[in-house]
Structure 1
Amino acid sequence: MASYDRPRAGGSPRPLETGDTWWYAAVAGEAAGSFSTRVRTRTRRGCLGAVLLLTVVYAGLVLTATGRRWGDAAMTGRRADTAAVTVLREHPSLAGATTLSLVLGGVLLLAVGLIRKRYALTGIAAGAVVTALALTGLLQRYAPRPRLADTAGLMSTGFPSAQTTLALGIAFGLALVAPYRLRDLAVGAGTLWALAVGSYTVAAGQHRPGDVIAAALVVLAVHCGLLALRARKGKVRPGGRRGPGLPGLPATVPLALLAAAGLGAGLWLLGDTLSLPATAPYDPAELRLAHRCGQALAAGVVAAAGLVLLGLLRRVDLDGAPAPYRLGGPFVEAAGVPRDGELVGPFTEDLDHEIS
């Protein structure tokens, strides 16, 4: 492309360097190997992976007798776990605080987006939360499950957990509305809060550990699919380095430790807890072990979901126009690129020029 091609009106506001060209954003987004294509590919794979894992969790913990027995044992074992019983007995206000935190989290998500005047991104983030909640409600109501008599007072529905879906949806929505430099901190802190909400629902007997795990996978699949659609439309651009301070470390490091410890301990204990007898009575120690195993697995999956989202968005800026397509080679390097105010070639001062 000749060096006198000028940017059309509304083009890139930054100074152009050698190797840049001014193609339409759609051309840049669809070109093989472009930045938008790479982001779309990895987020689409993340969405498909989350759906696949959700299917495995549903088949293993809902459709099989062993998985249902393990979930019931983890739910019943909360009564044998003295630590959980003590916390719930000494802090009865946790139920109200959890509900209040969900309301405040939704208000915070909307407030951040509106204060930063990112109205479209705020609507997209709210739409992602609503979509995740709608999918959760559909799975709770229509997902096939065995019709068994519930004689132990256990919940027969609740897969996935609506509370965890809402909390993690708000946390992941901050990735769209929070400033790029503070995104890791915002999403990491929000994921830690969602992890606490999920752990409380399991300890209080409102949901099984599998319900929390499924909620994390539903939210991850929805947001990965949304990001893939934005990348397909060219709504992403490369993000710069955040500098040596790395403001997200105070949240992402605890998140990584919780993911590693939770998944490691949960998988290590899972082999012992799956060998529960088919009929009661059960050993209280085995029930307590099943409860702690479920808590560890649920916490590990929620933390890992947050880390996966941050990993997929590494150096991806969702706020702003897409980057121009870069064209290299000896022809462009020899021709050079005109600076601002420099008129080169047969074109006039009217910058509304389209390349044909």
Structure 2
Amino acid sequence: MAPYDRLRTDGGTPRLESATWWYAAVAGEAPGSFSARIRKRMRGACLASVLLLAIVYAGLVLTATGQRWENAVLAGRLADETLAAAHAANRTLQHITLSSLAAALLTLTVIGLLRRRFLLTLAALGTVTVSLCLAELLKRHLLARPDLADAPPHLTPNSFPSGHTTIAMSVMFGLVLVVPYRRRGLAVGLCALWATAVGAYTVAAGWHRPSDAIGADLLVLAVACGLLALLARRGQLGPARRRRFPLRALFVTLPLCAAALGGLGFGIALLVDSMFVLAPGDPDVPRLAYRAGHALAAGAGAAATLLLLALLRHVDLDARPVPYRLTGSVTPEEPGPFPPDPDHEIS
């Protein structure tokens, strides 16, 4: 029997140090504790991301209307692109290789080990590897793309979700996990533009459809929130000092808000025009569809990044567990994270 499980004859509750793993695990389960609130928040975000992923897949992949619109996006790319933009997109995507992925994983590992944050290092590496494995599993085996729109053979292969977008977003989310709280804004500021642009570039280069990039963003967000919920379950998260970071708001939050609202708003407006307002044979449909898909891919990446920052607002991943009823007597009204002493003998 563990020392904290033994009954005491004086009716008291043993004191626990907040740095012990035993206290962290039990206090993280206390109703109303900081860890329990964060765990509930992350679990809800994970489930919501999975639900949105299913909606995007069902609406744009499993319906003839969605397939026709995404086929129009690819057709509009051929009719509405410039040679310089195509070359720029392809050069950016060609940098995402197995070597660059290995370098990114090594960078995350070095940062985490130098800071001696072993669980956060595992969570960051898990965000990248689990997201990429799930993306390949879904694309190749589980999520099929039936030919509902009588498309040419080169448009029928499944590409949902995008592997390139998954790598870019998961590396950025992993970096958010391993850097210190005060450097979180800097890390996002350096990587958010690149990760968001990768999703838009996959559409510009004709490598993926808009739903592929949006699905990859939601997949990575679901994996990151699920791993953060597990960290909260172990009591590893704590409240951060409520300090103002005006430079973060100026150079990170505001640009992300502008990209998310502008991309999603502009993209949805053009999507409605290209799908429901114009006639199916109108020559402007492919052009508007391509612009809508490009904007939606960029806006979804910015929105996913902004949502993760909002979920981690005032949450320090390096903080010690919050002390919960460590001192004072335990009353029936406030039992703390530990159950009260039973009024009968346990045999």
Same fold (TM over 0.5): yes
Structure 1 equivalent of residue 185 of structure 2:
184
Structure 2 equivalent of residue 86 of structure 1:
84
Residues matched between the structures, number = 317
Partner Cα separation in structure 2 for residue 96 and residue 146 of structure 1 = 29
Q: How do residues 227-306 of structure 1 correspond to structure 2 at under 5 angstroms?
A: 227-247=228-248, 249-275=250-276, 283=283, 285-306=284-305
TM-score, length of structure 2 as denominator length: 0.81
Partner Cα separation in structure 2 for residue 244 and residue 206 of structure 1 = 38
CA shift for structure 1 position 123? 2.1
Q: 2:149 matched to 1:144?
A: no
Q: Report the more deviating stretch, 65-74 or 266-275.
A: 266-275
From the superposition, tell whether residues 188 and 53 of structure 1 become closer, same or farther in structure 2 (CA, over 3 Å).
farther
Residue identity opposite 1:222 in structure 2: V
Once the two structures are superposed, residues 320-346 of structure 1 have per-residue CA deviations (whole angstroms, 9 ceiling, x without a partner) of 4312115799x89xxxxxxxxxxxxxx
Partner Cα separation in structure 2 for residue 92 and residue 213 of structure 1 = 19
2:93–2:202 Cα contact (<8 Å) kept: no
CA shift for structure 1 position 140? 0.6
Q: 2:59 matched to 1:50?
A: no
SS where residue 274 of structure 1 aligns?
Answer: helix
2:89–2:201 Cα contact (<8 Å) kept: no
Once the two structures are superposed, residues 150-205 of structure 1 have per-residue CA deviations (whole angstroms, 9 ceiling, x without a partner) of 52632521100001011100111112101111113313432321111111111111
Residue identity opposite 2:262 in structure 1: A
Structure 2 equivalent of residue 96 of structure 1:
94
Residue identity opposite 1:270 in structure 2: L
Once the two structures are superposed, residues 216-246 of structure 1 have per-residue CA deviations (whole angstroms, 9 ceiling, x without a partner) of 0000111111111111111111111234544
2:240–2:319 Cα contact (<8 Å) kept: no
Partner Cα separation in structure 1 for residue 174 and residue 74 of structure 2 = 30
> What percent identity do the matched residue pairs reach?
51
From the superposition, tell whether residues 167 and 154 of structure 1 become closer, same or farther in structure 2 (CA, over 3 Å).
same
Once the two structures are superposed, residues 24-80 of structure 1 have per-residue CA deviations (whole angstroms, 9 ceiling, x without a partner) of 333422221110111011111101110110111010000000001111111221112
Structure 2 equivalent of residue 28 of structure 1:
27
Q: Report the more deviating stretch, 185-194 or 121-130.
A: 185-194
CA shift for structure 1 position 306? 0.6
Q: How do residues 306-321 of structure 1 correspond to structure 2 at under 5 angstroms?
A: 306-321=305-320
Structure 2 equivalent of residue 73 of structure 1:
72
Once the two structures are superposed, residues 80-120 of structure 1 have per-residue CA deviations (whole angstroms, 9 ceiling, x without a partner) of 2234x432247864443344765554443233223323233
1:175–1:183 Cα contact (<8 Å) kept: yes
2:162–2:215 Cα contact (<8 Å) kept: yes
SS where residue 215 of structure 1 aligns?
Answer: helix
Residue identity opposite 1:33 in structure 2: G
1:155–1:207 Cα contact (<8 Å) kept: no
* Root mean square deviation, CA, Å: 3.0
Structure 1 equivalent of residue 110 of structure 2:
111
TM-score, length of structure 1 as denominator length: 0.80
Structure 2 equivalent of residue 19 of structure 1:
none
Residue identity opposite 1:80 in structure 2: A
Partner Cα separation in structure 2 for residue 167 and residue 252 of structure 1 = 19
Unaligned runs of 5+ in 2: 1-9, 331-339, 342-347
Task: With a CA cutoff of 8 Å and minimum separation of 6, indicate the structure with the bigger relative contact order.
Answer: 1
Structure 1 equivalent of residue 3 of structure 2:
none
Partner Cα separation in structure 2 for residue 211 and residue 152 of structure 1 = 18
Q: 2:72 matched to 1:62?
A: no
1:182–1:248 Cα contact (<8 Å) kept: no
Partner Cα separation in structure 2 for residue 50 and residue 93 of structure 1 = 30
Unaligned runs of 5+ in 1: 14-22, 333-354
